[in-house]
Chain A
């Protein structure tokens, strides 16, 4: 089988804030009744993370669960583990109404890291990025400039952005422009 590569193929931009492609990442969309025990078990057993609260995510290191909507979760895990995880989740959810889809190749994941990371995101999306309303662990589906995107706060200076693969170059471009040296909202 040919080797999977991400659309941005490891591109990296060093500005006041660093923007870099994280390469292929496993992502599984799971839809169903989030209060059902089987759905919770399916998501937590393959990701090794707790169920997130509404609007939050429990992604530690490179795997975990993100809350996407009242009936949708995104399970994030290493790219190579997706097929096995889907088979395992399918078994757990055998008798439960659900939808499972491998969306790994439909998406790109980009890491934005640096002290002014909140300002970089705030320039591009309508989300309220103040620490009081966007704490570490918050997940937000929104838009970035003209395209749909979602991001979560990994730690105080790191935000991981996901977007559709087809718009990866565009998102990487606008993030780089917003993160460039001299574009800081509060220059040193």
Chain B
């Protein structure tokens, strides 16, 4: 069972208390963007076997959205962090680098 610690209420919540919100750090394209950018925004998603960044909501708890970094293969969780950010914070990327040297995900590494 996947257990994520909510960064807002510090509760270690299991999957059944959370709702998945898909891929993290997706840039919303808007008026003026070309077709390729829109296609990327609407349809193109990562589907890695390994490091992944996701959005989750603590639905049955405090109700807040947050980000989680985990491995889809082993269910190892590298950390959770605030939703109010456009990229993973350094302590999260450091934790991943310590466990999986040389990792990359989209343009992050």
Q: Which residue of B lies closest to A144 (CB)?
A: B60
A143 touches B9 (CB 8 A): no
Please state if A70 and B13 are interface contacts (CB–CB under 8 Å): no
Interface flags, A128-151, vs B, CB<8A=1, else 0: 100000000000111100001000
Number of A-B residue pairs, CB cutoff 8 Å, is 37
Of B11, B12, B16, which is within 8 A of A143 by CB? B16
| Residue of A with least CB distance to B14 | A126
Is A69 in contact with chain B by the CB < 8 A criterion? yes
Describe A's contact surface by its main secondary structure.
strand
Counting chain B residues whose Cβ lies within 8 A of the other chain, the interface size class is: 10 to 19
Chain A contact residue count (CB 8 A cutoff): 13
Q: Mask for B1-24, Cβ within 8 A of A = 1, else 0? A: 000000011111110110000000
Q: Compute how far the CA of A68 lies from the CA of B60 in the bound complex, rounded to whole angstroms.
A: 11
Mask, A71-93, CB within 8 Å of B = 1, is 01000000000000000000000
A126-B63 contact in complex given A55-B9, A55-B10, A70-B9, C-beta closer than 8 Å: no
How far is A54 from B16 in the complex, measured between Cα atoms in Å?
22
Beta-carbon contact of B12 and A142 below 8 Å: no
CB-defined contacts of B16 to chain A, threshold 8 Å: 126, 143
Q: Are A69 and B63 in contact (CB under 8 A)?
A: yes
Cβ-neighbour of A128 out of B8, B12, B64 (below 8 A): B12
A-to-B contact residues, CB < 8 Å: 54-55, 68-70, 72, 126, 128, 140-143, 148
**What are 15 of the A-B contact pairs (CB < 8 Å)?**
A54-B10, A55-B11, A69-B8, A69-B62, A69-B64, A70-B62, A128-B12, A140-B11, A140-B61, A141-B9, A141-B61, A141-B62, A142-B13, A143-B60, A148-B60
Chain B residues with a Cβ under 8 A of chain A:
8-14, 16-17, 60-64
